[in-house]
Structure 1
Amino acid sequence: MQPATNGPTRPTVVIDVLGTLVDQTGSLERRVAEVAGIEGVVAADVARRWLGHVGEQERAIVERRRAFAPSHELDAEALDVLVRERFLSPDAAAELTDASEWLLPWPDTVAGLDLLSADVTVLALSNASRRVLAGLSANTGMRWHQAFSAEDAGTYKPAPQIYALALAGAPTGAAAPFMVAAHAWDLRAAAAAGLRTAYVPRADGDPARPDDRFDLQAMTLLDLHAQLLDLIESVQ
């Protein structure tokens, strides 16, 4: 397939990974149930506690209440807590150390990324560590032109420094990138940092508020690709 456009009119999209490209919560629930041999409801509670710990630590880092640690280290901390509190056995926790590298993409993700990368510049921007992003790409077939991790910024979303990575990484002469996310809070922070916004709802995302205004709204990545093609054609 030939790209729809080349040069400075080629849009740039900056795509969130955890929750937007992959089903983070559901994938962890299924992996915990399989590894620990526990029922789905119990596994869901374990996954909720796991992600809750990681989220709390990310907020502490953004607020500079603790030193930066990459996401795979925060995952390891969460597993240690779950073992101490007897929600997981040590053996189960050891098998789950790489679980974040095996999160499952949403049904439209891989095909959507393939379409997008043919016609626009695709940057991944994630709170996931470099190790996790490399594992996800290798294990799922997700592809992007460049990936930026919170590890590169030394902080987590929604700190403005992480969005600055995407702005600095956009090709020379390109218009402001579109931040693509299923989390309205992520898009609000991106807009404040100077990015345009594109909302794609997911089952585990952060729903938009009535007063939210995004530059684009799409039901899937395939829909987003079609809207971006229309945008390209309108400026040519």
Structure 2
Amino acid sequence: MTPSARPVLVFDVLGTLVDQAGSLAAEVGEAAASDEAAARTVVTTWLARVAERERDVVDGRRAFASSHDLDREVLAGLAADGDLPAGAVEPLATAAERLRPWPDAAAGVERLARDFTVLGLSNASHRTLRALRDGAGLGWHRAISAEDAGTYKPASGLYAAAVAAAAGPADGSDDVVPVMVAAHAWDLRAAAAAGMRTAYVPRPDGDAPRDDDAFDLHAADLADLHARLMAGEPSPPVS
């Protein structure tokens, strides 16, 4: 970054700050009394069906519905298919509100928030994001939900909402640079297309970069991300 630039960090939440798949598998195992392998299979189907519905919203095939409503809809379908006991639907419908943070997430966000503005940007509903902020100790300054844009990532409207939230004073005295931080390469590609800088942080179950991806910064974890940002990374674009 140039000396006058002020990075605003825009964090993906599900999978980047919290262990979505692992946490849901633990919830399914408890609610359905299933072993880890069976629970993982249910979670894989659950998340894939939610993603299908999100794509339908993005592509205009269905009206927008919040993430907690999509979870309940998919879980009811899994129960109807015999993949879950009917009694598991209600406890699992709020499972996204209890996702566990990655070990470095709470302390990492706290450290970053002391030196930078930190935003959350997620397909999760505000209800879910509030619960994660409080339950997982994720001290971002503000969270932007798919509810704010009426669509889901990777639609450009959601990244535009983050860029608008990151904007500096109207007089242009502050050079604000929004930096999308995610463990999902698809998320970073969409953010880059929307004019954001990009920082990749690897996580289990994330989406690794392809050989042709050119993200601005790669960090091993949130402590490394903080160190690199304080050292002036990512460098300014060549004009």
Question: The TM-score by the shorter chain falls in which range?
Answer: over 0.9
| 1:118 to partner: Cα distance | 0.2
Match of 1:86 among 82, 87, 90: 82
| 1:171 to partner: Cα distance | 4.0
Q: Indicate the residue corresponding to 1:213 in structure 2.
A: 214
Q: Indicate the residue corresponding to 1:174 in structure 2.
A: 175
Match of 1:128 among 110, 120, 124: 124
Match of 1:95 among 91, 98, 109: 91
Matches within 5 A, 1:20-39: 20-39=16-35
Q: Indicate the residue corresponding to 1:16 in structure 2.
A: 12
Q: Indicate the residue corresponding to 1:229 in structure 2.
A: 230
Q: Distance in 2 between matches of 1:190 and 1:10?
A: 18
Q: Distance in 1 between matches of 2:214 and 2:176?
A: 19
- Secondary structure of residue in 2 paired with 1:203: coil
Q: Indicate the residue corresponding to 2:113 in structure 1.
A: 117
Query: 1:153 and 2:120 equivalent?
Result: no
Contact 1:176-1:194 within 8 A present in 2 as well: no
Q: Indicate the residue corresponding to 2:36 in structure 1.
A: 40
| 1:34 to partner: Cα distance | 1.3
TM-score, length basis structure 2: 0.92
| 1:176 to partner: Cα distance | 2.3
Q: Distance in 2 between matches of 1:9 and 1:118?
A: 16
Contact 1:12-1:174 within 8 A present in 2 as well: no
Q: Distance in 1 between matches of 2:69 and 2:9?
A: 28
Task: Please tell me the residue identity of whatever aligns with 1:223.
Answer: D
Q: Indicate the residue corresponding to 2:190 in structure 1.
A: 189
| 1:8 to partner: Cα distance | 6.1
Q: Distance in 1 between matches of 2:55 and 2:167?
A: 31
Aligned residues: percent identity?
55
Deviations 1:85-126 (A, max 9, x none): 011112111111110000011111001000000001101000
Q: Indicate the residue corresponding to 1:3 in structure 2.
A: none
| 1:138 to partner: Cα distance | 1.4
Q: Distance in 1 between matches of 2:167 and 2:227?
A: 22
Q: Distance in 1 between matches of 2:4 and 2:128?
A: 31
For structure 2, list consecutive stretches of 5 or more residues without a partner in the other structure. 169-173
Contact 1:16-1:125 within 8 A present in 2 as well: yes
Contact 2:9-2:181 within 8 A present in 1 as well: yes
Match of 1:50 among 26, 46, 53: 46
For structure 1, list consecutive stretches of 5 or more residues without a partner in the other structure. 1-6
Task: Please tell me the residue identity of whatever aligns with 1:55.
Answer: A
Structure 1 vs Structure 2 CA RMSD: 1.5
| 1:174 to partner: Cα distance | 3.4
Deviations 1:152-198 (A, max 9, x none): 00000110000001110114133321100000010011001000000
- Secondary structure of residue in 1 paired with 2:30: helix
Deviations 1:123-169 (A, max 9, x none): 10000011110111111111101100001000001100000011101
Task: Please tell me the residue identity of whatever aligns with 1:97.
Answer: A
Q: Indicate the residue corresponding to 1:75 in structure 2.
A: 71
Aligned residues: 228
Runs of 4+ in 1 over 2 A off after TM superposition: 7-10, 173-176
Q: Distance in 2 between matches of 1:165 and 1:59?
A: 18
Q: Indicate the residue corresponding to 2:104 in structure 1.
A: 108
- Secondary structure of residue in 1 paired with 2:118: strand
